[in-house]
């Protein structure tokens, strides 16, 4: 199942990022079509640096959901997984700063997630519960990815499956709205079946190349 291909990890990631920039970032949700002006707004920071950073952070996260599932089937797996660890760490740090600042939820607040998910009166509280679940799975995925790179014991197929599964759950739960509908543009939706296919392949055949 291994691909006879060992692309440069920086080149591979850059191509994936460019692809999302030209499709995901370019997509206009109002006009339902690709608009080059949306890309220029980001690249040239025409709508402000904050807008540019938010959009780049989105495609950085999406790139991780393409590069990582593919990494386990390339001949230079370790290089791609290691780079993905750093790109997703940057994504996590920026997201924490952007959306929480100095108001990061205390661990003691997380047990309320069950009550929030079961709240039938407030959609806002239910969504807060979903987002807390997303944070937990995001942290878990990043922690497992770190262990896989730096602790040889964790460089096994089952850990790869766990990383992809927790990462996918994090992505889906983070991108749903009050009605629990997934709010992902164009090619961003492709990351879900790609990750699922990679998980299934790993479960059936295992990782074809050693990490």
pLDDT at 129: 74
Per-residue model confidence (pLDDT) at position 8 = 96
**How far is residue 152's CA from residue 70's CA, in Å, rounded to a whole number?**
20
pLDDT value at position 98?
84
Contact at 8 Å (CB) between 134 and 168?
no
User: What's the pLDDT score for residue 151?
Assistant: 93
- How far is Cα of residue 103 from the mean position of the Cα atoms in its chain? 22
In sequence order, which residues have a C-beta less than 8 Å from that of residue 64 and are 6 or more positions away? 84, 87, 88, 91, 167
pLDDT number for residue 181: 84
The three-class DSSP label of residue 27 is: strand
The neighbouring-strand residues paired with 27 are 34
pLDDT in tens, the chain (211 residues): 556 688 999 999 999 999 999 999 999 988 999 999 999 999 999 999 999 999 999 999 999 999 999 999 998 999 999 999 999 999 999 998 887 765 555 545 556 665 566 666 667 777 777 788 888 899 999 999 999 999 988 889 999 999 999 999 999 999 988 777 888 988 999 999 999 999 999 999 888 777 8
Return the half-sphere exposure (C-beta side, CA atoms, 13 A cut-off) of residue 44.
7
pLDDT confidence of residue 183: 87
Q: Residue 96: what pLDDT?
A: 87
Alpha carbon distances (Å) from 101 to 55, 124, 134, 135, 186: 18, 20, 17, 15, 29
């Amino acid at each position: 199942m291994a691909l006879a291909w060992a692309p440069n990890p920086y080149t591979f990631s850059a191509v994936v990022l460019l692809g999302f920039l030209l499709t995901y970032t370019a997509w206009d949700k109002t006009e339902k079509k690709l608009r080059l002006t949306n890309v220029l707004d980001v690249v040239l920071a025409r709508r402000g640096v904050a807008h540019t950073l938010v959009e780049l952070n989105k495609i950085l996260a999406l790139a991780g959901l393409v590069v990582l599932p593919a990494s386990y089937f390339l001949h230079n797996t370790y290089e791609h997984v290691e780079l993905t660890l750093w790109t997703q760490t940057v994504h996590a740090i920026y997201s924490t700063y952007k959306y929480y600042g100095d108001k990061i939820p205390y661990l003691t607040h997380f047990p309320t997630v069950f009550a929030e998910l079961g709240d039938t009166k407030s959609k806002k509280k239910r969504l807060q519960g979903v987002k807390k679940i997303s944070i937990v799975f995001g942290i878990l995925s990043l922690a497992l990815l770190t262990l896989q790179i730096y602790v040889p014991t964790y460089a096994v197929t089952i850990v790869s499956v766990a990383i992809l599964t927790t990462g996918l759950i994090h992505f889906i739960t983070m991108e749903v709205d009050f009605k629990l509908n997934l709010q992902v543009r164009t090619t961003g939706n492709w990351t879900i079946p790609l990750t699922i296919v990679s998980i299934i392949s790993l479960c059936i055949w295992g990782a074809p190349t050693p990490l």
